[in-house]
Amino acid sequence: MERQCVFIATFVLILHLVQAQDPTGFINVDCGLPPRDSPYNAVPTGLAYTSDAHLVNSGKTGRIAKEFEPDYTKPILTLRYFPDGVRNCYNLKVIRDTNYLIKATFVYGNYDGLNVDPNFDLFLGPNLWTTMSTNDTIEELIHVTKSDSLQVCLVKTGISIPFINVLELRPLPKTAYVTQSGSLKYLFRRYLSSSDRTIRYPSDVYDRKWYPMFVENSWTQVMTTLNVNASNLYELPQDVMTTGVTPLNANATLNITWTLEPPTTKFYSYMHFAELETLRAKDTREFNMTLNGKQSFRPYSPKPLKTETIFDVTPEQCDGGACLLQLVKTLKSTLPPLLNAIEGFTVIDFPQMETNEDDVASIKNVQDTYGLSRISWQGDPCVPKQFLWDGLSCNNSDISTPPIITSLDLSASGLTGIITHAIQNLTHLQKLDLSNNNLTGEIPEFLADMKSLLIIDLSSNNLTGSVPPSLLQKKGMKLNVEGNPHILCTTGSCVNKGHKKKSIIVPVVASIASIAVLIGAFVLFLVLRKKKASKVEGPPPSYMQSSDGRSPRSSEPAIMTKNKRFTYSEVMTMTNNFQRILGKGGFGIVYHGFVNGTEQVAVKILSQSSSQGYKQFKAEVELLLRVHHKNLVGLVGYCDEGENLALIYEYMTNGDLKEHMSGTRNRFVLNWRTRLNIVVESAQGLEYLHSGCKPPMVHRDVKTTNILLNEHFQAKLADFGLSRSFPIEGETHVSTVVAGTPGYLDPEYYRTNWLTEKSDVYSFGIVLLEIITNIPVIDQSREKPHIAEWVGLMLTRGDIKSIMDPSLNGDYDSGSVWKAVELAMSCLNPSSARRPTMSQVVMALNECVASENSRGGASRDMDSKSSIEVSLTFGTEVSPTAR
């Protein structure tokens, strides 16, 4: 069917031509080039390349091995690699709302002598661009910038160290290569010629690389020595447009094929035409263009020696990912179809918005002012969540608006100087913690003008002067200036022990000797009593007390045992002052640390705002101190010191199951056998809580984020803050306030408030469905939003493939899957009495494992997800060598 949305680019824009001929907008970066060797003009383009030293704050420089040097030229000979940190970013100054051709070149060249195949992720700002898994490749993208800066980030995902050789940006006309949405990822760019020459700048004014297409035996080469008018929007090189091909058989079609992975990938194609032959009066060249048998454009005739570009303004898809483009001669045509050049791009969406521009500028100003060199402070401050800058909290709940910075924690960061005015531009800031530094000067009044700011901790600094009255009078403000001996507090709402001590010392010194002795004795008595009390109760809180003057946990009984107890200073030491964040939750932040300098641990710090935090903390400590099982996360120790509460666990290298199922942790798919092993081990941990503990325990929060995986992908249950026991012999349930996670919560428990071990069985059934389907537990866009209802609907249709995770590509024993589905649905029985026990669940799952293992086959522990690949039938490799 003829499409109405056809655009033929035949017009000439003088402005674009002038801009195209001026390469000053090019950005050419030789990564790893020493600054003293910068800039230089590369051969054969003549373009000036500069060092990357001023564009990135981390990494080390290297050079490909000498054995590979003869195959390459500058700028590919050098590279920068990033052994430290997870995300390392280049920060490039660009022009907002400009269409850029972005090229990144990666040539491993065994620079480190290890012969390790690369495997790491490449991000553009907060969004994944691609995964690097080859030794020699160029990644290319056409992207419209949204701000004045562009960040290209390399992210470590395994043992491979990220590296990059060249980074290049070329501005394009704004109306060229336009998409309905998203950006364009390079698929192929070919000119139809028997030549072996790669064409780029200066022949191509935008420095696109054109690779020759293999001319098949059924084609004939068409060429001209005349000049072709190429002055349309795309400005193709003369060397590209002066050649073309037609079918050898005048009545044959001209076929171009390629494949897409995954098959549902959307793409754009751009076909470039110019008539190169002098046609006789009776000759006509006219043809239709079809994609997989469907007509894409109306009959078309190339213009003599004039370039025209034909493309569709809407993206295309090919059934099954196999694309067949055919140029078909019309009935009135006397000549076969002709094609000069063709480009293909896949659509790549970058859905995550960058952090609010003003917040980014402000936090970088703060970073520069205090000279902060934290390895994590690279790239976008807030997103993606797994790369959130240390010390920041952000709000990105509304995907339609940019994320904003809501909390800044620079405590114990070695800050000196005054409180920088850059902070006042963080207009959404709710909490500011600058405690335990060496800040001087007065407390600035602008803090009172920050409307969102509610908590300010300036304790343990060297600030001077009076607290601004406007700050003291601000309603709802919590201010802590304790430990600043030179700060004057003018109201009772500001605590400053330093001045109180001074006001006492003066009259004491002036008193008569006998009274001084009495007072001294009395003070000594108080000090001794205070020390004794502190040994029992712990040190005073480092933050403000609650409004009633009591500690938030004053009514809670203390944890009786003192085994495995650490001081808060030891916690700070083991986490290197809380340098590396592993994750965040309702309890607080989890940090990476070391005990005794060698044993890796995960340190969970209780948030000051955590509701009922101490109850959960106490419950978890007491549970883990008395239960031990290979499938329960082990407690290395804890800290219970005043308001400073921490849990120190064994470190689980591979994070949680949810991350692996969703693909947020890496780009590997857990195969069916591995998934079964994980749920069996998780079930064994629950079985121990239900049957092996005296009294029995109910976890109350079984979900995929609470199933952690060690380096061998052994599963262990975690997060026992909501766990409850049955203290009375023979008790069948506990009446308790409902707690848990929506979607996983037992509906009977929710309805009756009666908690039994079968509530965990229900939650485990949801986990089982998650590993089978790999779909969200709740999705309002589905016909049945809850996963259990959706699976029930699919079961009525009797097709296991509609339920099973499609990324497994059918690599599983169907009998094993059916058993797992039946077991999951039995766990979800509305009546808890009819659900199996965890012992029965373990037995049934072991049967599933046995069934899968008996199948054999080539299943591996983890199968790599396919990235988009192209297999063109017309010759040389799509991923060109960098030579």
Q: Is 812 in the same domain as 702?
A: yes
Q: Please determine, for residue 461, whether its predicted confidence score (pLDDT) is greater than 80.
A: yes
Q: Is 604 annotated as a binding residue?
A: yes
**Looking at 300-314, 442-456, 545-559, 746-760, which range is the least confident one?**
545-559
- Domain presence at residue 424: yes
Which of these three, 464, 481, 510, is where a domain ends? 464
Query: Are 315 and 404 members of one domain?
Result: no
Under the banding of pLDDT at 50, 70 and 90, the label for residue 861 is very low
Whether 623 and 771 map to the same domain: the answer is no
CA 732, 737, 739, 744 torsion-angle sign: positive
Q: Are residues 152 and 259 in the same domain?
A: no
Mean pLDDT of 705-729: 75
pLDDT beyond 90 at 252: yes
Q: Please list, residue by residue across 501-531, b when 16 or more beta carbons sit within 10 angstroms of its beta carbon and e when fewer do.
A: eeeeeeeeeeeeeeeeeeeeeeeeeeeeeee
Mean pLDDT of the 270-276 span: 97
**Averaged over 264-279, what is the pLDDT?**
95
User: What is the per-residue pLDDT for 489?
Assistant: 64
Highest mean pLDDT pick, 505-519, 713-727, 814-828 = 814-828
Segment 585-593 shows an average pLDDT of: 79
What amino acid occupies position 642? G
Q: What is the mean pLDDT of residues 176-201?
A: 94
Task: Supply the CATH number for residue 452's domain.
Answer: 3.80.10.10
Nearest in space to 260 (alpha carbons), one of 878, 875, 882? 878
Q: Is the pLDDT at 37 greater than 80, yes or no? A: yes
* pLDDT confidence bin for 644, thresholds 50/70/90: confident
**Where a domain ends, among 130, 151, 176?**
176
* Better-predicted residue by pLDDT, 771 or 2: 771
Instruction: State yes or no: cis peptide before 384, omega within 30 of 0.
Output: yes
**Section 803-815 average pLDDT:** 87
Residues 6 or more apart in contact with residue 26 via CB below 8 angstroms: 47, 168, 169, 170, 171, 207
Which of 240-249, 296-305, 779-788, 826-835: highest mean pLDDT?
Answer: 240-249
Q: Shortest CA distance to 120 belongs to which of 129, 112, 103, 111?
A: 129
Q: Left, alpha or beta for 26 (phi > 0: left; psi -120 to 50: alpha)?
A: beta
Instruction: Tell whether the model's pLDDT for residue 44 goes beyond 60.
Output: yes
Rg (CA), the chain: 33
pLDDT tops 80 at residue 724: no
Residue 540 DSSP class: P
Q: What is the DSSP string of 299-338?
A: EE-PPBTB-EEEEESS-B--GGGEEEEEEEE-TT-SB---
Predicted local confidence at residue 158, as pLDDT: 84
∠357-355-365 over CA atoms, to 5°? 55
Q: Please identify, among 589, 624, 650, the residue that sits at the C-terminal boundary of a domain.
A: 650
325-382 confidence digits (pLDDT tens): 999 999 999 999 999 999 999 999 999 999 999 999 999 999 999 999 888 999 999 9
Does 747 reside within a domain?
yes
In 724-837, which residue ranges form alpha helices assigned H by DSSP? Answer: 747-752, 757-773, 787-795, 814-827
- pLDDT surpassing 60 at residue 558: no
Rounded to an integer, the average pLDDT of 837-848 is 93
Mean pLDDT of the chain: 82
Say how far apart CA 791 and CA 809 lie, in whole Å. 19
Domains in the chain: how many in total?
Answer: 5
What is residue 865's predicted lDDT score, i.e. its pLDDT? Answer: 32
**In the predicted structure, residue 530 carries a pLDDT above the cut 50:** no
Q: pLDDT band at residue 586, thresholds of 50, 70 and 90?
A: low
- pLDDT of residue 229 exceeding 60, the answer is yes
Under a CB-based contact definition with an 8 Å cutoff, are residues 488 and 467 in contact?
yes
CATH number, domain containing residue 676: 1.10.510.10
Q: What is the mean pLDDT of residues 157-176?
A: 94
Share of the chain above pLDDT 90, in %: 56
Q: Can you tell me the distance from the alpha carbon of 697 to that of 725, in angstroms, rounded to the nearest whole number? A: 4
Q: Is the pLDDT of residue 827 over 50?
A: yes
Note whether 340 and 191 are same-domain residues: yes
Query: 490 in a domain, yes or no?
Result: no
Q: What's the pLDDT score for residue 500?
A: 38
Please indicate, yes or no, whether residues 782 and 819 belong to a single structural domain of this protein.
Answer: yes
667: in domain: yes
Residue % of the chain over a pLDDT of 70:
80
Ranking 146-160, 166-180, 281-295, 495-509 by mean pLDDT, the lowest is: 495-509
Given a cut of 50, whether residue 735 has pLDDT beyond it is no
Band the pLDDT of 513: cuts 50, 70, 90. very low
Checking if the pLDDT of 446 tops 90, the result is yes
Q: Indicate whether 434 belongs to any domain.
A: yes
Q: Are residues 229 and 297 in the same domain?
A: yes
Secondary structure letter of residue 367 according to DSSP: H
What is the structure's pLDDT at 659? 85
The larger pLDDT score, comparing residue 596 to residue 270, is at: 270
CATH of the domain at 139: 2.60.120.430
pLDDT of residue 695: 75
- Answering whether pTM is above 0.75, one says no
Query: Are both 441 and 315 inside the same structural domain?
Result: no
Report the pLDDT averaged over residues 214-228. 91
- pLDDT, position 604: 87
Could you give the residue numbers annotated as active site? 701
What order do you get walking across the sheet with 431-433 strand by strand? 392-395, 404-409, 431-433, 455-457, 478-480
Predicted pLDDT at 23: 55
DSSP state of 413: S
pLDDT of residue 823 exceeding 60, the answer is yes
Where is average pLDDT lowest: 151-160, 177-186, 494-503? 494-503
Please report, to the nearest 10 degrees, the dihedral formed by the alpha carbons of residues 630, 632, 637, 641 taken in order: -170
User: Are 762 and 668 part of one and the same domain?
Assistant: yes
Q: Are 858 and 840 in contact (CB under 8 A)?
A: no
Spatial contact of 419 and 374, defined as CB atoms under 8 Å apart:
no
Considering 91-100, 537-546, 563-572, the range whose residues carry the highest mean pLDDT is 91-100
769 half-sphere exposure, CB direction, 13 A CA radius: 29
**Residue 637 shares a structural domain with residue 675:** no
Residue with tokens 């490449």: 122
> Average pLDDT, stretch 16-40?
75
pLDDT in tens, 103-151: 999 999 999 999 988 999 999 999 999 999 999 999 999 999 999 999 9
Q: Give tens-digit pLDDT for 659-681.
A: 888 766 665 778 899 999 999 99
pLDDT band at 875 (very low <50, low <70, confident <90, very high): very low
Q: Is residue 509 part of a domain?
A: no
Is residue 59 domain-resident?
Answer: yes
Confidence class of residue 739 from pLDDT cuts 50, 70 and 90? Answer: low
| Same-domain check for residues 139 and 237 | no
Together in a domain, 69 and 165: yes
- Please check the confidence at residue 755 and state whether its pLDDT lies above 50: yes
User: Residue 206: which domain range?
Assistant: 187-348
pLDDT band at 582 (very low <50, low <70, confident <90, very high): confident
CATH code: domain of residue 593: 3.30.200.20
Residue 335 included in any domain: yes
Q: How confident is the model at residue 19 (pLDDT cuts 50, 70, 90)?
A: very low
